[in-house]
Amino acid sequence: LDDFSVGANIALAIELQGRKATNEEVNKILQTLDLDGYGSRRTNELSGGQKQRIAIARALVKNPDIILADEPTGALDSKTGLQIFEILKKLSKEKLVLVVSHDREFAESFGDRVIELADGQIISDISKTAIKKDLDSVNVQYDKKEGLIVKEGYQLTVDDLALINKYLLSEKNLSITTKKSDQLHIQEVFVETPKKAGPKVYVDEFKMIKSRLPSRMAFVMGASGLNHKKFRLFMTIVLSLVAFGLFGVADSLAAYNRVDATVNSIIDGKITSVALSKRKTIEDEMSNYPRQLDLSLAKSDIEYLNSSIGKETELAFKPIFAAGARGSQSPFYIGSNYSPSNNLTYNSYYLDAISGLAEFTSEELTSLGYTLLGNSRLPTNDDEIAVTKYIFEHFAAKGYSIAEEGTLPIDIKADNLNNPSDLIGKYIFLNSNNLPGSLKLKVVGVVDTHFETERYEELKTSITELANYFLLQEFTTTVNYGYHGLGFVNPGYIDTLIALQDTTGIEIGKNAYLHYYTEDSNMYFAANNINILENYETDQLFFFGEQKTCLAKNEIIVAASSFINNDATEYTIGDFTGTLQQYENALMNDLIMDYAITNYLVAESRGFYEAFYRDIVLSTEEKINGYFEYLYYGRGYQENHYGDKSGDEFYMEVLEQFRPIFESFSPIAVIKEYYNFLFYRQDTGDATIVGFLKDTNDYYEYSTMIVDDDLYEDIALYEKIEPYKYALAKMPSNRAAIKKIAQFCLTMSEDSIESPLQNSATPMLEMANDLVESVAALFIYIGLGFAIFSALMLSNFIGSSVAYKKREIGILRAVGARSSDVFRIFFNESALVALINFVLASIATYMAVYYINASLRTDIGLSITIFNFSVRQIALLLLISFFVAFVASFLPVYRIARKKPVDAISNK
């Protein structure tokens, strides 16, 4: 074996016998074959005869009783051949040596028995017989040519001297020499081999030796094969690396898992909060397409979260009060607090709303890593609030103003709001549809929640690109479902607000439409909010004829302002003739103008003109008209900070003047159209308007409608308002807890209710989940294709390596190695290549996945981790690499090992 030294070749044969090869045994064998000192030489440094001796040495280590040599001198010169025969002759003293040869001279010179074959038949069988002279002894012999030969070192006896004297008498010029014992010979001749009864049977003495190749030697022999065709090995590894790497990347997407994607997105995105909302999924029976409905949370929902996933992950969830707002709805609008001088162009960065109210202690804020800025503190009274730094940015960009009855207006331009301390001590109004009036709260603190303002800087411009759209979705979810948009209030204040919360009405515009229209289509009424009769006082309603305490099925009451704006009929009311809307406008103009004329000076004293007109000099008429427009068309319609009456109060007075007219009406027949988007349920039929609701003519009340109890309950089943929008806690730091949260949020209850996780990554995750899972199925086949290609590359190299070493396989089999031993050698070689490929491919896959995910985050702006490098990719790469190594080694080795050793050696 050319890969081994002389000593290692002999040691291999010893090890195959299950014995440990020692230097002493190897050197002893080398000495026997006159190769002393050749143990460390490589076989390519030896002559042909020396190599033959090594082959004989490997046979001798087995200590065989029989040695069979087939043409041992066939490829050697005569001198070297003679040396080989001399060695075999020497061995024949202790072993039975059988030599197959075409050289009759050598056969007769060295053979004790010569059997001649022709055409498969024995034609001659002769044995060498010694011819001993009567006078010769074992130690003293006579040769006609050489004379008397005495065994070297032998002391002559009296008989020997007598023998010598006899030869001296008969021979003239007799020479006497000495020789070693092995050089003494007796004259021999060939005679016919005598016939014997039959061959001897050695059944009891025969014992098979099971060869065993040591793992270390198998590894060394396998590793040596890597020196073969180094460039091809390099290219195989490179191409396999690329193919395996692409397979790993493809599988990292094919193995896309919602839980793992969520966990990785949270960790990679450094998300610090756990916000859980409530959602119901409704299966459409017609299209089988699921529809999702955002729900608000009740106290029982918060208790459930804390007792389930909260307990399991040691989290304490805080309820975030939003007065019934849910989904994308803004709970507390703050836009009325900005300075009139605000001319900031609309952009998506400023949401103009506080996302919810929460109750925190200073210790809890500190545990979150948040700090109070400047002279801030947390609220200690119910009329106080602490806002976040993000909310302060609204006022820093748009200014601040407030005007209340009996006080001078305050107007601070944006340029003068540079420090959070500038907002502390100021009152702000929070407007909610589900709370009576506005909440007036004093800002006592600004909390720094470490909001990533720089990341969302581009949202301060218009949205034009798809990436910006994704960024906007991320931004709104981060603010609306995190700490950054919160208002912090006094402990216990939220319970007070819950008691005040208007939970009687239901907003239906998102999930259904409810329309009524007259047969001639002249009047059309659309409901965005519905309510029931018992929630209103009598003076808030105008009934046609007698009053009602409940509505019959398909009876409705619509907003008076909605009817007035729809009705094109002309009426004569006193000296007035025209539509009700014209009559309403006339009354409103008169009432508000009279008020403006008599109260514009009061407004001026309270800073109205200073706030809205600044340094513009106005005439009296211009002042009256300016105040009139403020009350009729401006902010003063809902809330007049510069007087004692707002525009909507005048509207209520006007509607009261309509009472005699409305109460004289007869029920109005209309056609009902109700369609539920959640269930695709449609209801069309006749209905009747039996009265009007006294509303303020704003959008919320304008689209409010009172319906019968049955319809209300049907819609309320999925639209009921609860106080909380979501539950909030600090994100745990360990992956196991994060995974439990992800699994909990992605698990749906039997009634199709779930608690979805809300953070910067979830909008993109929800969009990507279905898409990526669909694409992932394709990537399984793509990855499989790469795996097959890489397997072919690897198996091709291994197959060529095995073919290249066909001669070595034959030699190994010839010296006693089993097929399994040979396979282990080549599997070690294959495994080394596979291991190199596996390690490099694993590293390449990890780096590629890391780079792709990082690029999606930094270059495209995605906040999710789509490609997931996990133990699965490592296991698959390892499995495929070593499976290919096994198969690619086994098949060619098995095929070659089945051949006769001589055929394998001769490459037949």
Model confidence over 767-801: pLDDT tens digits? 777 777 677 767 777 777 777 777 777 777 777 77
Q: Is 296 buried (19+), middle (13-18) or exposed (0-12) by CB count in 10 A?
A: buried
Percentage of the chain beyond pLDDT 90 is 27
Rounded Cα–Cα distance for residues 508 and 310 (Å):
32
pLDDT at 140: 75
Evaluate whether 609 touches 624 at the Cβ level (below 8 Å). no
pLDDT at 788: 78
Q: By mean pLDDT, which of 136-150, 194-208, 475-489, 768-782 is the weakest?
A: 194-208
Written as one string, the DSSP assignment of 701-718 is HHTEEE--HHHHHHHHHH
Rounded Cα–Cα distance for residues 360 and 380 (Å):
11
Residue 586 has pLDDT above 90, yes or no: yes
**Band of pLDDT at residue 32, cut at 50, 70 and 90:** confident
Rounded Cα–Cα distance for residues 30 and 38 (Å):
8
pLDDT at 67: 83
Question: How many of the other CB atoms lie within 10 Å of CB of 391?
Answer: 30
Question: Average model confidence (pLDDT) for the chain?
Answer: 81
pLDDT at 887: 76
Please say whether the dihedral angle defined by the alpha carbons of residues 433, 436, 438 and 442, taken in this order, is positive or negative.
negative
For residue 810, which of 873, 722, 893, 688 has the smallest C-alpha distance? 893
Give residue-wise pLDDT tens across range 860-876. 667 777 777 888 888 88
Residue 449 DSSP SS3: coil
Residue 290 DSSP SS3: strand
pLDDT at 131: 61
Rounded Cα–Cα distance for residues 405 and 413 (Å):
21
Strand pairing partners for 189? 129
DSSP-derived pairing of the beta strands 113-118 and 576-579: unpaired
Evaluate whether 95 touches 64 at the Cβ level (below 8 Å). yes
Give residue-wise pLDDT tens across range 644-680. 999 889 999 999 999 889 988 999 999 999 887 666 6
pLDDT at 69: 82
For residue 347, which of 393, 389, 386 has the smallest C-alpha distance? 393
Residue 182 has pLDDT above 70, yes or no: no
Give residue-wise pLDDT tens across range 400-457. 988 765 556 788 888 888 899 999 999 999 988 777 778 999 999 999 999 989 888 8
pLDDT at 241: 77
pLDDT at 390: 95
Residue 700 has pLDDT above 60, yes or no: no
Give residue-wise pLDDT tens across range 441-498. 999 999 999 998 988 888 887 655 555 777 888 899 999 999 999 999 999 999 998 8
Residue 114 has pLDDT above 70, yes or no: yes
Residue 374 has pLDDT above 60, yes or no: yes
Higher-pLDDT residue of 763, 183 = 763
pLDDT at 728: 96
Give residue-wise pLDDT tens across range 343-369. 777 788 899 999 999 999 999 999 999
Higher-pLDDT residue of 64, 616 = 616
Residue 707 has pLDDT above 90, yes or no: yes
Rounded Cα–Cα distance for residues 423 and 334 (Å):
14
pLDDT at 120: 84
Rounded (5°) CA angle 719-722-727: 120
Tell me what the mean pLDDT of segment 34-49 comes to. 75
Higher-pLDDT residue of 545, 398 = 398
Tell me what the mean pLDDT of segment 824-828 comes to. 71
pLDDT at 766: 79
Q: By mean pLDDT, which of 51-55, 263-267, 559-563 is the weakest?
A: 51-55
Higher-pLDDT residue of 750, 197 = 750
Q: By mean pLDDT, which of 149-163, 185-199, 543-557 is the weakest?
A: 185-199
Evaluate whether 890 touches 799 at the Cβ level (below 8 Å). no
Q: By mean pLDDT, which of 231-240, 297-306, 389-398 is the weakest?
A: 231-240
pTM above 0.95, yes or no: no
Residue 884 has pLDDT above 60, yes or no: yes
The most confident of 216-220, 336-340, 466-470, by mean pLDDT: 336-340
pLDDT at 275: 94
Residue 34 has pLDDT above 80, yes or no: no
Q: By mean pLDDT, which of 296-310, 503-517, 653-667, 890-904 is the weakest?
A: 890-904
Percentage of the chain beyond pLDDT 70 is 83
Strand pairing partners for 691? 543, 557
Higher-pLDDT residue of 540, 170 = 540
Strand pairing partners for 534? none
pLDDT at 363: 94
pLDDT at 170: 75
pLDDT at 122: 87
Q: By mean pLDDT, which of 15-19, 113-117, 489-493, 513-517 is the weakest?
A: 15-19
Give alpha helix (H) positions in 805-899: 806-814, 819-855, 871-897
For residue 772, which of 52, 255, 344 has the smallest C-alpha distance? 255
